[in-house]
Amino acid sequence: MESQSYKLNLLFLDRIGIVADISRRLADRSMNILSMEVERRQQLADVYLAVAPVLQEMTAGEILETLSGLDGLQSIRFIKTMPNENRQNTFHTVLDNVSDGIVSIDAKGKITTINQLARTILNCHHRDLIGRRIDQLAAMDAHLLSCLEGKSYSRIRRSVSTNNGQFEFFTSARPIADSTGRIIGAVEIMKDMKEIKALVEEVSQPENVSFDAFVGNTPSVIQAISFARKIAPTPSIVSIRGQSGTGKELFARAIHAESGRTGAFIPVNCAAIPDALLESELFGYESGAFTGAQKSGRAGLFEQAGGGTLFLDEIADLPPGPQAKILRAIQEKRVRRIGGRSEIEVDARIITATNRNLERLVESGDFRQDLYYRINVLPIHLPPLNARTEDIRALADHFLFQINCRLGSDLQHLSSGALEKLVHHSWPGNVRELKNVIERAAILCDTKKIGVESILFSFDLAAPAPSGNRTAKPANDGGPLTLQLDALERRIVVNALKTARSIRQAAGRLGVSHTTLRNKIKKHRLPPLASLSRVK
Ligand SMILES: Nc1ncnc2c1ncn2[C@@H]1O[C@H](COP(=O)(O)OP(=O)(O)OP(=O)(O)O)[C@@H](O)[C@H]1O
């Protein structure tokens, strides 16, 4: 017969011999001590007891009577859980709620801890696993045993197939040592790839960024932020100007986040949408408006941004037709879907951005003057990175922190040589280029301190610097001038296309017409944009 057990808390004035007295009393009444804990605080001693009568059943009253009258006893009460059980429960709850799988083994390779995620990955239940040798589990990595010999490993990519599905994870493990340095076990931590991917997306594409995420301390940036904060809650159109990669989209997201608007932030790259699709993307269409259209019709981006913000990026790259329609939509706050009979009211806050000289485009007739005046109500200029070199350190640290978090690696820092190299670069690709350089350095460099040799600029991929200390090198060192010029032209066109999102955008950057650039692409027999990354 399994007798009932009781848990009690006894409070004593502290003295020598409490545990011995309790043990004697319980032994006299044939009661077994299942566990006993003593906590001392100031002059008092809290004794926690779990006991079970051995020979016969005992009532709660008889248990209290057995222990009453002990010297120095202040109070006695029944409890539901022992402090050690509470600690264990807390420990398991914490372990089960971390997003990493955790398994630990003792010095003999037997499992001592395994949390919820690790159990799911291994498709086993808790009781099945504790005390079993790790190398007996088919799905488990016996590499952990090598840590008992003092080895450790980091971020090894593994995948496991179980009834619960396919799990891909990064795993790291290290030995556990006692205070004398003797190895008493090992622990393995598995990071779920899905979690890592979700984190990467959150970190690199923050949906709701505030101005706190916009790094910069130079007066021009501080001024731009304080101006933007003031106008964020108003419905006015904002026009963000600045070279490619200066952070225009990030800035627009911050304005949206601080606008108090509850709708979505809808970014549209006007240069990336093919001309034929621009109007249907922006204004939507009714059912059966054209061949290939969805039967139910579709809301355009203006409608989708209702209650939120429509970010018209590269607005200067819009062809004349959509320019006129956008002007109308902005003025009237209404759109008509293609094939639609009625107009739909839209309440989208408009933020535009461009890296081109709008005034010059208006002069040359490539951008409508009326649209220019309509969007140029609140212009904000973001300075190029080479005009705010004081911000390079803070930006580099910020990107380094992001990439280290993404990779789950130790936090790195820049050596003074590396920082100096960054400060002396001309930054034609602005902050985007700095972000790429830092990510490359963090991946290349195995140590915590990033040296100058890990700072590599991708000159081949960057568009030719508009100014600065670099000049385009001749394509080869000899040969007739026309051939050299041809080779140089090819390289410039390839570079411009590689960094642009469309032929129209590349043409704009090179200051030539769309048709001229198309002819040059034909002349040099270049492949479509998507395959250009392989062209040298
Ligand atoms: N001040 C900043 N602080 C933190 N990150 C920044 C900052 N400026 C730019 N970035 C980052 O640099 C990258 C490029 O920024 P973004 O896309 O906003 O530039 P852009 O000016 O809109 O470029 P483009 O004109 O080519 O569209 C993004 O990853 C962005 O998060």
- Model confidence over 145-184: pLDDT tens digits? 989 999 888 777 777 776 667 777 788 889 999 989 999 9
- Residue 432 Cβ inside 6 Å of ligand 1? The answer reads yes
Which residues have CB under 8 Å from 166's CB, separation 6+?
Answer: 159, 160
Spatial strand order in the sheet of 165-177:
111-114, 100-106, 183-192, 165-177, 153-162
* Tokens 């690199």, located at residue: 204
Is any atom of ligand 1 closer than 6 Å to the C-beta of 435? yes
120 close to 194: Cβ distance less than 8 angstroms: no
Residue 378 · residue 239 · CB < 8 Å: yes
CB atoms within 10 A of CB 316: 24
CA of 202 to the centre of ligand 1 (A): 15
CA 321 to centroid of ligand 1, rounded, Å: 29
SS (H, E, C) 508-526: HHHCCCHHHHHHHHHHCCC
Does the beta carbon of 253 sit less than 6 angstroms from any atom of ligand 1?
no
Atom of ligand 1 nearest to the CA of 221: 1
Give dist(CA 401, CA 413) in Å, integer: 9
| Position 492, amino acid | I
Q: Which of 201, 244, 250, 354 to mutate to test the pocket of ligand 1 (most atoms within 8 A of CB)?
A: 250
Give residue for tokens 């020598």.
Answer: 16
Question: What is the distance between the alpha carbons of residues 378 and 229, in angstroms, rounded to a whole number?
Answer: 12
Q: Which long-range contacts (CB under 8 A, 24 or more apart) does 386-391 make?
A: 386/426, 386/427, 386/468, 387/220, 388/216, 388/218, 388/220, 388/221, 389/423, 390/217, 390/218, 391/215, 391/216, 391/217, 391/218, 391/221
- For the chain, the 3-state helix, strand and coil shares in percent, each to the nearest 5, are 40, 20, 35
Contact predicate 270/314, CB 8 Å: yes
Which alpha helices (DSSP H) does 284-429 contain, by range? 301-304, 320-332, 358-363, 369-375, 392-407, 416-423
- What ligand 1 atom has the least distance to the C-alpha of 382? 21
User: Quick one: pLDDT at residue 469?
Assistant: 38
What amino acid is encoded at 128 in this protein?
Answer: D
Distances (CA, A) of 41 to 68, 71, 153: 22, 18, 43
Tokens representing 235 are: 């419905």
> Distances from the Cα of 436 to the Cαs of 72, 441, 501, in angstroms?
71, 9, 18
Residues 52, 32 contacting (CB under 8 angstroms): yes
pLDDT tens for the chain, 536 residues: list them.
456 899 999 999 999 999 999 999 999 999 999 999 999 988 999 999 999 988 888 899 999 999 999 999 999 999 999 999 999 888 888 888 887 889 999 999 999 998 888 887 777 766 678 888 888 876 666 788 989 999 888 777 777 776 667 777 788 889 999 989 999 999 998 887 777 666 655 555 555 688 988 999 999 999 999 999 999 999 999 999 999 999 999 999 999 999 999 999 999 999 888 888 888 899 998 876 666 656 667 889 999 999 999 999 999 999 888 899 999 999 999 999 988 888 899 999 999 999 999 999 999 999 999 999 999 989 999 999 999 999 999 999 999 998 888 777 788 999 999 999 999 999 989 999 999 899 888 877 878 999 998 888 865 333 444 443 333 343 344 455 666 677 778 888 888 888 777 788 788 778 777 778 888 888 887 877 666 655 55
355 lines ligand 1 (CB under 6 A): yes
pTM of the model: 0.56
Amino acid, single-letter form, for residue 317: D
Q: From the DSSP assignment, how many helices (H) and strands (E) are in the chain?
A: 19, 20
CB 245 less than 6 A from any atom of ligand 1: yes
Atom of ligand 1 nearest to the CA of 355: 25
* Whole-number Å distance between alpha carbons of 189 and 176: 13
| Coil, strand or helix at 18 | helix
239-296 tens-digit pLDDT? 999 999 999 999 999 999 999 999 999 999 998 888 888 888 999 988 766 666 566 6
CB of 271 closer than 6 angstroms to any ligand 1 atom: no
Strand partners, 353: 240, 313
Tokens for 311?
Answer: 């970010």
| Contact between 346 and 261 (Cβ < 8 Å) | no
110: buried, middle or exposed (CB in 10 Å: 19+, 13-18, 0-12)?
A: middle
Side chain identity at residue 214, one-letter code:
F
Contact yes or no for 45/14 (Cβ under 8 A): yes
pLDDT of residue 293: 57
Residue nearest to atom 8 of ligand 1 (CA): 247
